[in-house]
Chains A and B, each alone.
Chain A
Amino acid sequence: MKKKSKKEDVKLKFNSSWEYAPAPESKDHVKINSSYDLFINGKFTAPDSGKYFDTINPATETKIAKVADANEKDVDKAVKAARNAYDNVWSKMPAKERGKYIYRIARVMQERARELAVIESMDGGKAIRESRDIDIPLAAAHFFYYAGWADKIDYAVPGSKSRSLGVAGQIIPWNFPLLMAAWKIAPALAAGNTVVLKPAETTPLTALKLAEIIQEADLPPGVVNIITGAGATGAALVNHPGIDKIAFTGSTDVGKIIQKSIAGTGKKYTLELGGKAANIIFEDAAIDQAVEGIVNGIFFNQGHVCCAGSRLFVQESVMDTVVRKLKDRMETLIVGDPLDKNTDIGAINSKEQLGKIKQYLKIGVNEGGEMYQSSCALPSKGFWCRPTLFTNVSQSSRIVTEEIFGPVLGIQSFRTVEEAIEKANNIPYGLSGGVWTDKGSKIFKVTSQLRAGVIWANTYNKFDPTSPFGGYKESGVGREGGLHGLMPYLELV
């Protein structure tokens, strides 16, 4: 081994005199109404509540549009429309015809991809690089994938027949608004169900744009209904007796409430809940690529990712190197205007979420954690958080065990493979994980013992419509995506 230099001045400088000029994506082609009603029975309908709420751009704190607030009566109207469409149209339609409609939705989404990407970034704060290259193409890919299943359901479960459930109530989160809508709607429709979907209150716009696309695709009225509102609207949907299945993505706390409230009702459910994933770096890993994987794991989408690699475990022999490289890499992350094509990390989704993240930063420091943040400048308006890491933390630190849902990484060291596995599993969550090593056999040994639904080896945060996704333990029930993702929308007969 060579002697490490202890010279203090050995440090790379990333505040370059060669700055990248702003490269904002154009908003000219985007049409956003000043006000949106509820999408019920194929038409935009004023809410019975008469109430509207504002959706704002978290990067500027300015209002983008006002959106209807659905009350119980509105929910009832939507569920009845879905029931009517199910009984009279969708369940009677030949499967091949259903498939054609789903393909059509996918194609229109692709045609309007740029518009959708810009709106997603404006409404949710995520970098256009991600909404353009990941969210929107992946959402369309889900519709394409499940469209293919529509007329092949009989072959999904060899040796048995299946049928659709009826009306699905679907509640989605604010971190991947359109993508989550696609995850929910596409398999439901392919399996022959109709849908009432409620997007999150801070990010309703792309779901409402999807309603326009559904109109353009000429889907029969009532097959997909999209109602906006906050928690009360979601509760009304969950508790509506006309719902046959609940699909929820969101926090573990709300997931538990849903599970309690539908206990004994016979409603089927899938819950995709929180996570606190272990990302494990072994000493024989390709270190520079692993560092990139750490960055993709925790700073993707501002860390608003249920499967984010928020607990980093690094083998002690490479700990210093990994932390040094990570800090250097963090210096090159550009935080700012989500619509700028060079932005790596956009705005925190809401004031409330930023408050929660800041709270955790305080907790981390009070617990004795050593906090490091990149030195980037932040815009004066909007909700922002610098990429952050904590060292000197342990499994007993709250920032290491609780889901923060922000760009905050807790780093712990380990000595042996067994210790890594034990620590990785020592958490109530079990949604995802990552393993980095050059040794194939180690990958199999570790991944087979990690208690998590999705585990990536030598990469992180990769998604594909053909691959099932879902959690162990308090990270959820059921799977979405792939063949597995059809099952929650089918009943074997």
Chain B
Amino acid sequence: MKATKHAFMDSPSIDQVGVEERISRLTKRSIKKESKLTALKMALSMVDLTTLDAKDTPGKVRQLCIKAMHPHDAVPGIPQVAAVCVYPTMVRVAKETLKGSKIQVAAVSTAFPSGMSTRKVKIEETRYAVNEGADEIDMVISRGHFLQGEYNYVFDEIAAVKEACGAAHLKVILETGELSTLDNVRLASDIAMQAGADFIKTSTGKIQPAATLPVTLVMLEAIRDFYYETGKKIGMKPAGGIATAKLAIQYLVVLRETLGEDWLNPKMFRFGASTLANDLLMQIVKEHSGVYQSIDYFSKD
């Protein structure tokens, strides 16, 4: 029997017009001077530096890990990023390169990015990544089953992967660009959190649209309601499409005014991004020196 939406949860409806209006008000916050520098450094410390290409090699991953540890040593006081995010087969090399640092290794799993495989394969893959040393697992939900209304299937799958994670943190990717409505985003968020997600994440980065501010707000509000219901703090990771420091600061404003102080740290909030780090670095250096430097001063790894 199919579980209908109301069979096991009471997700509130979401008004898209209202969400967009709230975002447009939040993005008008003017973040200047020392509050800007604080935000830039905070954002950098929250980056999951990501490489998810079919052509990834140990060499490429190693270089990315060095960048994660030494984003821009020419200027003092620049934080390291939160994690490096790779495919399961690259976990070991990332883990070795990052040895001694506090940077986490995240592995995408469960037939990323489509999720079109059997539960057995997904669990197997997750176990493999954890055994290789992954600290965090980024799984995808089965969007087809979700859109069919098979919410129990989606719930059970997340719960099973969570079990396979063991001590590793589980981030659940909703792939909001395929869910079509904010009502669905909210429902998927609620299912993921109740099934055991430590983090909920917008996107794989392989589908457009990826992360957006309205989608992120809806997910943060779901986290807020879950917190008040259960006392559990779930993390949030917007991923894909966040390429500029200005946009990253807008995400932090939305975060600050929705969930407050306890979420303004890399334990509770991450940016999944490949190019964001360099724009953040460029802006941080500009706040120090007063002038923009050429992009050639920032490493591309």
Contact = CB atoms under 8 A, between A and B. Distances in A.
Interface stretch (A213-221, A286-294, A349-357, A421-429): A286-294
Contacts of B261: 13-17
User: Interface residue tally of chain B, by bracket?
Assistant: 35 or more
Contacts of A289: 14-15, 17-19, 22
A7 B230 CA distance: 9
B18 A341 contact: no
B256 A286 contact: no
Interface in B1-27: 10, 12-15, 17-19, 21-22
Contact of B256 (A1, A18, A287, A438): A18
Contacts of A18: 35, 38-39, 42, 252, 256, 264
Interface string A125-150: 00001000100000000000000000
Contact of A1 (B10, B19, B31, B262): B10
Contacts of B35: 18-21
Contact of A14 (B31, B221, B231, B260): B260
A283 to B, nearest CB: 10
A4 interface: yes
B10 to A, nearest CB: 7
B259 interface: yes
B224 interface: yes
A315 to B, nearest CB: 13
A156 B21 CA distance: 34
Interface string B215-246: 00000010010011111000000000000000
Interface string A151-182: 00000000000000000000000000000000
A17 B36 CA distance: 13
B271 to A, nearest CB: 16
A181 B162 CA distance: 63
Contacts of A293: 18
Contacts of A14: 256-257, 260-261
Contacts of B101: none
A251 B268 CA distance: 50
B32 interface: yes
Contacts of B21: 292, 459
Contacts of B34: 21
B29 interface: yes
Contacts of A332: 257
B288 interface: no
A346 to B, nearest CB: 15
Contacts of A32: none
B12 A4 contact: no
A459 B16 CA distance: 12
Contacts of A23: 30-32
Most buried by B among A2, A288, A332, A459: A288
Contacts of B99: none
B248 to A, nearest CB: 13
Given A1-B10, A10-B231, A286-B18, A16 B29 contact: no
Secondary structure dominating the interface of A:
loop
A342 interface: yes
Contacts, number: 98
A12 interface: yes
A324 interface: yes
Given A21-B33, A21-B36, A23-B30, A4 B229 contact: yes
Contacts of A4: 228-229
Contact of B12 (A12, A19, A286): A286
Interface in A444-476: 458-459
A5 interface: yes
A458 B260 CA distance: 26
A284 interface: yes
Nearest to A437: B13
Interface string A334-350: 00000001100000000
A9 B227 CA distance: 11
B255 to A, nearest CB: 10
A12 B231 CA distance: 11
A12 B229 contact: no
B128 to A, nearest CB: 35
A326 B88 CA distance: 44
B14 A286 contact: yes
A459 B17 contact: yes
Contacts of B17: 289, 458-459
B55 interface: no
A286 B42 contact: no
A5 B28 contact: no
B37 to A, nearest CB: 10
Interface in A286-338: 286-290, 292-293, 324, 328, 332
A159 to B, nearest CB: 38
B227 A20 contact: no
Contact of A16 (B14, B36, B229, B256): B256
B262 A13 contact: yes
Which 5 residue pairs spanning A and B have beta carbons closest together? A289-B18, A23-B30, A286-B15, A21-B35, A289-B15
Given A15-B261, A18-B39, 13 more contacts: A4-B229, A5-B231, A10-B231, A13-B261, A20-B30, A21-B34, A22-B32, A133-B28, A286-B13, A288-B14, A288-B19, A292-B22, A459-B18
